[in-house]
Amino acid sequence: MMIAEIFAGILAVAAGLIMVVTMVGLWRAPDAQTQANMLGPTTGVAIPLLIFAKLAYDISRHGFVFSDVARALIAVVAYLVVLALGAFLLGRAFLAVAVEADQAESQDEPA
């Protein structure tokens, strides 16, 4: 079972590295929209990797249990659905702010 634990550790370290790289990118991003777009690797890849790392660890400790696999798959699918809805709502919010800013700028300019 040592190989499964090593695999789980590799997945967890890879997810952590993805999060660190994303964090550095967030610090260097010039505006909020770019920062929101840069969250994709962490939210779309790193979090599911952590879920699969936990699954690999559980398999190494308790053996293959179908309910653990089903729970991990349901968690990843549900997470990705919520992620897609959240990204849609965030995009709509950014659009609304951009439209309001454009309208405010056009009212400030002399005709």
| Alpha carbons within 13 A on the beta-carbon side of 73 | 6
DSSP string, 85-97: HHHHHHHHHHHHH
pLDDT tens-digit readout, 2-61: 888 999 999 999 999 999 999 998 899 887 777 777 888 888 899 999 999 999 999 989
Flag whether pLDDT at 67 surpasses 80: yes
DSSP string for 30-66: SSHHHHHHHTHHIIIIIHHHHHHHHHHHHHHHH---H
Residue 110 clears pLDDT 70, i.e. is over it: no
pLDDT at 30: 84
DSSP 8-state code for residue 30: S
| Lookup: tokens for 20 | 């660190």
Instruction: Indicate the number of domains in the chain.
Output: 1
- What are the pLDDT digits (tens) for 69-102? 999 999 999 999 998 888 788 777 877 777 776 6
**pLDDT of amino acid 19:** 93
Greatest C-alpha distance within the chain: 74
pTM of the complete model: 0.77
H or E stretch including 18? helix 2-28
Domain that holds residue 20: 1-110
Q: For residue 100, what pLDDT is reported?
A: 72
Q: What is the pLDDT of residue 109?
A: 64
3-class secondary-structure state, position 100: helix
